[in-house]
Chains A and B, each alone.
Chain A
Amino acid sequence: MNYRLIFSTLARVIRVEAILLLLPLAVSAIYGENCFYAFLITAVGAYLLGTVLKIVCKPKTQYFYSKDGLITVALTWLSVSVIGAIPFVISGEIPSFIDAFFETVSGFTTTGATILENVEGLSNGLLFWRSFTHWIGGMGVLVFIMAITSKTTDRPIHILRAEMPGPSVDKLVPSSKDTAKILYLIYVVLTVVLIILLWLGDMNLFESVIHAFGTAGTGGFGVKNNSIVNYSSYSQWVIAIFMLIFGMNFNLFYLILIKKVGTALKSTELRYYLFIVLTSTVLITFNIYPAYENAGEAIRHAFFQTSSIMTTTGFSTQDFNAWPTLSKIILFVLMLIGGCSGSTAGGFKVSRLVVIFKKIKAELKKVLHPNTISVIKMDGEKVSDGVLGGIVNYLAVYVVCFISITLLISFDGFDFEATFSATAACFNNVGPAFSVAGPMCSYADFTPFSKIILSLAMLLGRLEIYPLLLALTPSTWFKK
């Protein structure tokens, strides 16, 4: 492995994070809050650390392979989370480092799970930082670096592949840097539109920005203890629709941008995605209808929660913990499925699910007619054996990780529902789960050990397992 190149990339990441910390610094200055100094110390410290690292690790060679890409991504995410947690600790608003780390990881991985029992007590600067991590983490930290700096490595595809969710990466234009730029441009424009739309409703500018960040990154950090229950139905509809948009593959927006709307609408994944959302909304509406005054309200809550959980955002307009079992199970299944590949959402991804379903269908057909040859297609093109194998393999690893994490969390002794759903909610970057970790509660009651495990689960989920798993494997680091 090319350690020097990996660490010099890391140095660049840390320096960029130091610069990004200036944004919450400005916010805390505007509100005249004490956390200003916490941001200042962290930003200066991080910048110095980055500079030292850069000088020490000047790369000698430029070779960069798949493995280097995966390790770079894993180390980047770990280090930005550690540094991002420092302001919380220094300001004293989240005194325990483990809690602060959990909160920051939850931010960068766009999970939105919190250990804070009283969110409203947090100062505005920290609230801003928490949500801003969603925004950066949503599209990817290294993709961001790639978009703004000249050249990172000779083979940036390995970084794109490791950081962008989904079974395969489709570049929009030949150069990876330009692809990153286009993605971020679409992302910024959509976010700005959302901020304006929310500001037109009953939110003030600060709240609009925070919720727009939470929605865009499909994260779910807000400013209120009870998420967005108290906002108007207008704001709720806007957020619900935008969550759905940010859960779609960003390549589709590019296709629309270059006037290939037809191709975009024909996307297999998009169709399944919308179909799942629609079916779940209808089912939940009927299931919860008796508890609400009119159909309009039931539809709104059903749609909002479906959109929020499916895109792994985790905002809530209702305490869905109190809903009937059928609705809760549907939401749980949506948690596992997640959004589309190439979006900011987490989860297993709709495209993988579709491919697996098609594969099951083909295998069943083979049982009936042993000599048939079938080809699995997505968007009219054959899914290559490599991608297919990768997806099946991913499913296996996904299940193994899920079970292991659940097992580790169960030491805390919470009930079955809480343990199981908390794992699912963190591993799929959703945020709120059921029972003690429900939408109106927090993860504060878990032990520090479980918090670390859940933090790792969030990172595993966001980076789609392999990078972090590889970084945690000893043989990666030691020659044998």
Chain B
Amino acid sequence: MKVIISGCGNVGTAILEGLLKDGHDIVVIDTDHKTIELAVNNYDVLGVCGNGTSYEILSEAGAIDADLFISVTGSDEFNMLSCFVAKQMGANHTVARIRNPEYNNPAFEFVKKQLGISMVLNPEMLTAKWLYNVLQVPSASSVEKFSSSDMDMIELLLKDGSPVLGVPLYELRKKLPLNFLICVVQRGEEAHIPNGSFVLQSGDKVGVLTLRSELHKLAKAFGIEKKPAKSVIIVGASKIAYYLSTLLLHAKTSVKLIDKNPEKCLEFAEKLAGATIVNGDGMSQELLLEEGVLSADAFLSLTNKDEENVLMSIYSQSKNVQKTITKINRDELIDISDNLGLDTVVTAKHVVADALVRYARALENSKGSKIETLYSLLSGSAEASEFEVLKDFKYSGVCLKDLKLKSNVLIAGIIRDRHVIIPCGDDFITAGDKVIVITAGESLFDLVDVIK
């Protein structure tokens, strides 16, 4: 597909990276010459320097026959205008980053429709929702939901003493009376799709597909048991914090928010009735102790400074807070976060990039199947995708053991009539099913691609 990305900042670059892996032709627009130069040097893209709302610049970038136009500059209004112009010029689909909470209401649908915006991208909102899901299952370092069923994909970090270590997977399956499937294991830098004889080690990160109702039992069986967070401390009054607090308060969780800036605190106090807002420095250990970090179920450091977030999280982990989540923006820090022993790390731009890759794949025509959800697992080394099987699927009704699957592919779940099957060789796929597929080191656009 031909994709244009206007605004090549943090988020723009992450989206660019994600889409480039899928082999799209990408043109980037930015007003800053240096930014464009950097993008062109580092990625196989075309750069156009200029204002993303101007007709000339957009036509130079080829908006007239673009399949997807994404505007992710810093200004919401600029993005809306860009998308409007691009749409009028002939771009097929447009995506605008709009993050001002004032636009986050049902009435905005009207504006969206008038401007011809196909999708509104709110990175903070997406991230907040993701964080909310993780807080519901604190045992996992990340949780992804599949659209139509009770299946969740959770990531667990195995530590010394876990009862699942040293046992081949086929025995583990027999031992535990639960519905689950270990889909992918990250050991070191490599991701494996394990077979029955695979043996787990301490330090492995595993992606497990399981029923939502059995999540907690599973976590317990894996030796990682944490209760859903009922009281949460958030440091940093950012937009993510705002959206997350709203979600948490709605679920009757107690929220305490700490920020240095008194004006910000005042603003949040006004908007978030029900939350406790504290004005103070989150880096101060005394303040954290005073505000009850010892008794909190979860601690989230969501300020804009990566380093401070990391330090605060390390401190709260040392105080045995059950769940700590650290927001990190720089890719370099994410790579070393494992060494620092951080529990869960969140990067808004990756959440956004995932969302867009998913969206772009859904736009592409596929034969016999339609992609519904897509997640990147274990920091991008594997992917889980959910396909809806359409009528003209070629291998409908063929037993899985008779299909020649590629070696790095796993059919992890079949959802039929809202009922989940964790498949074995005698199961088959038929029209109307939803199929969850795990791949390592490859991207899937169509269900047929899993076959050799």
21 examples of A-B residue contacts, CB within 8 angstroms = A66-B41, A155-B41, A155-B42, A155-B44, A156-B44, A157-B40, A157-B41, A157-B44, A171-B40, A171-B46, A173-B25, A173-B46, A174-B25, A174-B26, A174-B45, A174-B46, A175-B25, A175-B44, A176-B44, A177-B44, A386-B37
Residues of A close to B41: CB separation below 8 A? 66, 155, 157
Residues of B close to A177: CB separation below 8 A? 44
Scan B36-51; emit 1 where CB is below 8 A from any A CB, else 0.
0100111111100000
Whole-angstrom distance between the alpha carbons of A332 and B403 in the complex?
A: 70
| B47 nearest CB across to chain A (Å) | 9
Q: A157-B41, A171-B40, A177-B44 are in contact. List 13 more A-B contacts (CB 8 A).
A: A66-B41, A154-B44, A155-B41, A155-B44, A157-B44, A173-B46, A174-B25, A174-B26, A174-B27, A174-B45, A175-B44, A384-B33, A386-B37
> Chain A: which residue is nearest B24 at the CB level?
A174
Residues of A close to B25: CB separation below 8 A? 173-175, 178
From residue 1 to 54 of chain B, which have CB atoms closer than 8 A to chain A?
A: 2, 25-27, 33, 37, 40-46
Whole-angstrom distance between the alpha carbons of A176 and B44 in the complex?
A: 6
Interface residues on A, range: 10 to 19
Point out residues on A near B: beta carbons under 8 Å: 66, 154-157, 171, 173-178, 384, 386
Residues of B close to A157: CB separation below 8 A? 40-41, 44
Whole-angstrom distance between the alpha carbons of A157 and B44 in the complex?
A: 7
Interface of B is mostly: mixed
Whole-angstrom distance between the alpha carbons of A173 and B62 in the complex?
A: 10
Contact A155 B43 (CB under 8 A): yes
> Chain B: which residue is nearest A170 at the CB level?
B46
| A371 nearest CB across to chain B (Å) | 25
Point out residues on B near A: beta carbons under 8 Å: 2, 25-27, 33, 37, 40-46
Residues of B close to A171: CB separation below 8 A? 40, 46
Residues of B close to A386: CB separation below 8 A? 37
| B30 nearest CB across to chain A (Å) | 14
Residues of B close to A156: CB separation below 8 A? 44
| A128 nearest CB across to chain B (Å) | 35
Whole-angstrom distance between the alpha carbons of A384 and B47 in the complex?
A: 15
Contact A174 B44 (CB under 8 A): yes
Whole-angstrom distance between the alpha carbons of A426 and B49 in the complex?
A: 39
Whole-angstrom distance between the alpha carbons of A81 and B48 in the complex?
A: 38
Whole-angstrom distance between the alpha carbons of A178 and B33 in the complex?
A: 24
Residues of B close to A175: CB separation below 8 A? 25, 44
> Chain A: which residue is nearest B26 at the CB level?
A174
| B360 nearest CB across to chain A (Å) | 14
Residues of B close to A178: CB separation below 8 A? 25
Whole-angstrom distance between the alpha carbons of A157 and B26 in the complex?
A: 14
Whole-angstrom distance between the alpha carbons of A386 and B36 in the complex?
A: 14
Whole-angstrom distance between the alpha carbons of A365 and B152 in the complex?
A: 71
Residues of B close to A384: CB separation below 8 A? 33
Whole-angstrom distance between the alpha carbons of A19 and B44 in the complex?
A: 28
The 5 closest A-B pairs by CB, nearest first: A174-B46, A174-B25, A176-B44, A174-B26, A174-B45
Residues of A close to B27: CB separation below 8 A? 174
| A318 nearest CB across to chain B (Å) | 45
Whole-angstrom distance between the alpha carbons of A384 and B43 in the complex?
A: 20
Most chain A CB inside 10 Å of its own CB: which residue of B2, B25, B43, B46: B46
> Chain B: which residue is nearest A66 at the CB level?
B41
Most chain A CB inside 10 Å of its own CB: which residue of B42, B44, B46: B44
Whole-angstrom distance between the alpha carbons of A170 and B46 in the complex?
A: 9
Residues of B close to A176: CB separation below 8 A? 44
> Chain B: which residue is nearest A177 at the CB level?
B44
Whole-angstrom distance between the alpha carbons of A171 and B62 in the complex?
A: 14
Whole-angstrom distance between the alpha carbons of A253 and B291 in the complex?
A: 69
Whole-angstrom distance between the alpha carbons of A66 and B25 in the complex?
A: 22
Residues of B close to A154: CB separation below 8 A? 44
Residues of A close to B2: CB separation below 8 A? 174
| B310 nearest CB across to chain A (Å) | 26
| A383 nearest CB across to chain B (Å) | 12
Whole-angstrom distance between the alpha carbons of A154 and B17 in the complex?
A: 11
> Chain A: which residue is nearest B45 at the CB level?
A174
Whole-angstrom distance between the alpha carbons of A155 and B46 in the complex?
A: 12
Residues of A close to B43: CB separation below 8 A? 155
Whole-angstrom distance between the alpha carbons of A173 and B44 in the complex?
A: 10
Whole-angstrom distance between the alpha carbons of A156 and B33 in the complex?
A: 21
Whole-angstrom distance between the alpha carbons of A176 and B25 in the complex?
A: 10
Residues of B close to A155: CB separation below 8 A? 41-44
Residues of B close to A174: CB separation below 8 A? 2, 25-27, 44-46
Residues of A close to B45: CB separation below 8 A? 174
Whole-angstrom distance between the alpha carbons of A154 and B37 in the complex?
A: 16
Whole-angstrom distance between the alpha carbons of A184 and B76 in the complex?
A: 42
